[in-house]
Amino acid sequence: MSKKKNKKHKPEQPEAPDFNRKDLRQVLTKLFGDHRAKTYNFKEISKIIEAGQGGGGRKLLNEVLGELVREDFLLEISAGKFKFNEPSQIIEGRVDMTARGSAYIVPMAESESKDVFVSSENLKTAMHGDQVRIRLFASRKGQMQGEVVEIVKRARNTIVGTLKLSKGIAFLVPDNSKIPFDVLIPKDNLAGAKDGEKVVAKIVEWSPSGQNPTGTVTQVLGKAGLNETEIHAIMADFELPVAFPKEVEQVAEQVEPGITPEEVAKRRDFREVLTFTIDPWDAKDFDDALSLRKLENGNWEVGVHIADVTHYVKPRTLLDKEAYERATSVYLVDRVVPMLPEKLSNFVCSLRPDEEKLTFSAVFELDGQAQLKREWFGRTVIRSARRFSYEEAQQRIETGEGDLAQEILILNGLAKQLRADRMNNGSISFDRVEVRFKIDEQGKPLEVYFKESKDSNHLIEEFMLLANQRVASRIGKPGQNAKPKTFVYRIHDEPDPEKLSEFAGFVKRLGKNIRLGNTKEAAKAINKLLEEVKGTGEGDVISQMAIRSMAKAVYSTENIGHYGLGFEYYTHFTSPIRRYPDMMVHRLLATYLKGGKTASEEVYEDRCKHSSNMEQRAQKAERASIKYKQVEFMQEKLGQVFEATISGITDWGIYVEMVETKIEGMISIRDLDDDYYYFDEKNYKMVGHRTKRTLQMGEVMQVQLARVSLQKRQLDFVPYREANAKAGKKR
């Protein structure tokens, strides 16, 4: 006969105390205040305060905990888990992922200057670009560390990559190296995508404890490796639009030039004044032109005439809203993603030769030494007599021959004087070589070449800079007893002294000395150094490091000047066809010239931030398209040997840039196998443990192309001698 187990008798639980809201708040604030480092879940809190038994008590506890979280007294670090919020230990920032899965959090508050390291396990599903709140730990070796406690705003919820099917399981392998995980795609979510195709997937589920998110395919881009597929993948990755909405195109098609006698009568007429444009040979939109005439007093009148886009694109219209959202045109290697529809950008607004055009102009009277005597700003009408390419203008500068050669030479002489004055006043000259491609009809890169700035480029640049500077001064510097009105400035903060000091230490290790002094003296010292190393193996590296030591230029209603140009006041007035900030400047300037009231600073500051963000996104997309074409160009050159300059050093390897093509790749530290190398961070070089051999920035070495990954847009090199030793080849 079996014995029945006696059931244990559970004693009756005491009734929950009759807390009111005020009492419960006091108990909770004392509990968490006394135990600031401890995390409690809802069940533990209920047990401690005996408030979790009745439905009413549970509801009140939930409500009060929610209040304390909203008041930032508590942090809900995961569902139902709470911790005291140390205000000084919580910061907000954006996630900058590394390829290894860890990240640096770039603080949003100006008072927080140092980036914070967050390991992969402490990211809690945060991805590159997300806005997050993190709790700080104690610093380790001088590097602040932290953990993500809240994802404030996702940068995106879609990922672009290549689909991999294996044994009934589908994964999306991201193109972006800063996304260090694959996305699981259930079979029902493939949308017809096949193995090896590029797709866009939306994340639909991701548990904080889960290793991989789950997604669904939202768009099939095509077979990986094809030009159209890869460029569309880059566009999707940066969320660039493929086309304009139909309704926007329809509105644009209805726009007419509108150059009526009534409209011309409202404007200053420059149609009889010699005017011409100078642009790249393949340009289709011309938004700036120069006019020149000699005045009776012997001075020169130079007109900087800019397409009057805002005459056609009115505020709060479909065209304006679309232009604002895009904020800028994006120039990929084989196409342009324009800010305005083609009807406007290439026809109605474009300053095409032998066509009357409406413009907004800055007109200057300059003496023979390019000293400014008078200036005028206002709406005009012009007729361009000639369209020059930069090459055609350069030919006239070099030979003095050809139509309008004398006029171009006069403008070039004035521009050279303007440039010399600008450099004397502290402007920094970063003349970086731009990489360009010759591509066939299928988009395949056939040749790499460089776009170098010559006198014809500098000619246009100097007059655009003059116009931008003087427009900003006209509004930002209104005179005595007058308050500046709200305006859009292009600002560039002074460099961080610590970064400048690091730059000085870097060039010293390369055997160069630079005395920085104050910020203005620093600019002159950097200019002098860049001129000394121009054309040398280390010149590009030093130029890159100098740029990295600088702040980023952005748009703002708060003017702090433009350090890089050495200007107290600066804006963007000269490219409204491709930049929305220029459209804002045109509208504000037009309003203020008529005596209008100041605009809302808050509204325009928000627009400035949006424009700055979109500009940075465009730059990243452009770099990604260039990198893709570089890798595509190199894929048929596996095994070939190249001369390269060391352009970067990290603890996982060295970056090298080929001397001939400026294409960059990496040598992993594991491929430096003639010794055990370690990264000497203080002296910014690799050092062999046994041989003490050093590898440092600017050093030229022979490298061999070992691996090419189109998907990752990545080139892997090995040192030439190691490659041959491994293969057993004779030199």
Give the class (CATH, top level) of 158-224. Answer: mainly beta
For residues 659 and 644, what is the distance between their CA atoms, to the nearest angstrom?
5
Q: Give the whole-angstrom CA distance, residue 14 versus residue 33.
A: 26
Contact 372, 310 (CB under 8 A): no
CATH class of 21-84: mainly alpha
Output the pLDDT for position 14. 37
Could you tell me how many residues make up the chain? 731
pLDDT digits (tens, 9 = 90+) for 609-647: 999 999 999 999 999 999 999 999 999 999 999 999 998
The model carries a pTM of 0.83
Please state the domain extents for the chain.
21-84, 87-153, 158-224, 456-621, 638-727
Residue 319 vs residues 40, 148, 527, 590: alpha-carbon distances, Å:
53, 40, 43, 19
Confidence of residue 56 (pLDDT cuts 50, 70, 90): low
- Bridge-based pairing of strands 336-337 and 81-84 is unpaired
**Residue 708: which residues within 8 A CB-CB, separation 6 or more?**
631, 634, 635, 638, 714, 715, 716
Q: What are 303-336's pLDDT values in tens digits?
A: 999 999 999 999 999 999 999 999 999 999 999 9
Q: Is the pLDDT of residue 106 over 50?
A: yes
> Which residues 6+ apart lie within 8 Å of 643 measured at CB?
658, 659, 660, 700, 701, 702, 703
Fold annotation for 87-153: OB fold (Dihydrolipoamide Acetyltransferase, E2P) (2.40.50)
What is the overall mean pLDDT for the chain?
88
Domains 21-84 and 87-153 share a fold: no
What totals of helices (H) and strands (E) does the chain contain, helices first? 18, 34
**What's the pLDDT score for residue 209?**
64
pLDDT band, residue 51 (cuts 50/70/90): low
Q: What per-residue confidence (pLDDT) applies to 417?
A: 98
Q: Is the pLDDT of residue 480 over 90?
A: no
Q: What pLDDT score was predicted for residue 616? A: 95
Kindly state the average pLDDT of the residues 531-558.
86
Tell me the pLDDT tens digit for each residue of 335-388. 999 999 999 999 999 999 999 999 999 999 999 999 999 999 999 999 999 999
| pLDDT band of 10, cuts 50, 70, 90 | very low
- CATH architecture of residue range(s) 638-727: Beta Barrel (2.40)
Q: Which of 58-67, 195-204, 246-255 has the lowest mean pLDDT?
A: 58-67
Residue 337: alpha-carbon gap to chain centroid: 16
Place of tokens 């305005």: 340
33 or 293, greater pLDDT: 293
Question: Strand pairing of 330-331 and 336-337?
Answer: antiparallel
Using alpha carbons only, what angle is made at residue 599 by residues 596 and 605, rounded to the nearest 5 degrees?
155
What residue spans of 427-496 are helical by DSSP H? 455-476
Q: What is the pLDDT of residues 174-225, one digit of tens each?
A: 988 888 889 999 999 999 999 999 999 999 988 766 678 999 999 999 999 8
3-class SS of residue 410: helix
Q: What pLDDT shows up at residue 141? A: 55
Res. 542: pLDDT tops 80:
yes
CA dist list (Å): 696 to 509, 624, 656, 679, 705: 9, 26, 11, 10, 20
- Mean pLDDT of the 35-55 span: 74
Residue 290 has pLDDT above 90, yes or no: yes
Range in 117-126, 398-407, 552-561 with the lowest mean pLDDT: 117-126
CA gap 485, 478 in Å, rounded: 9
Do the Cβ atoms of 332 and 231 come closer than 8 Å?
yes
Q: Report the alpha-carbon distance of residue 616 to residue 554 in Å, rounded.
A: 9
pLDDT band at 58 (very low <50, low <70, confident <90, very high): confident
pLDDT, tens digit, 9 for 90 and up, residues 425-454: 889 987 777 888 998 888 889 998 888 889
- Paired strand residues for 667: 654
| Per-residue confidence (pLDDT) for residue 142, from 0 to 100 | 57
Among 147-161, 257-271, 535-549, 595-609, name the one with the lowest average pLDDT: 535-549
Residue 88 has pLDDT above 60, yes or no: no
**Interval 479-506 mean pLDDT:** 89
Rounded average pLDDT over 496-511:
83
pLDDT tens, residue by residue, 388-424: 999 999 999 999 999 999 999 999 999 999 999 999 9
Residue 706 identity (one-letter amino acid): A
For residue 139, pLDDT beyond 60: no
Residue 562 or 28, more confident: 562
Question: Is 98 or 298 the better-scoring residue by pLDDT?
Answer: 298
The DSSP call for residue 568 is S
How much is the pLDDT for 172? 94
Confidence check: pLDDT of 279 > 50: yes
pLDDT band per the 50, 70, 90 thresholds, residue 110 = low
State yes or no: pLDDT of 533 exceeds 50: yes
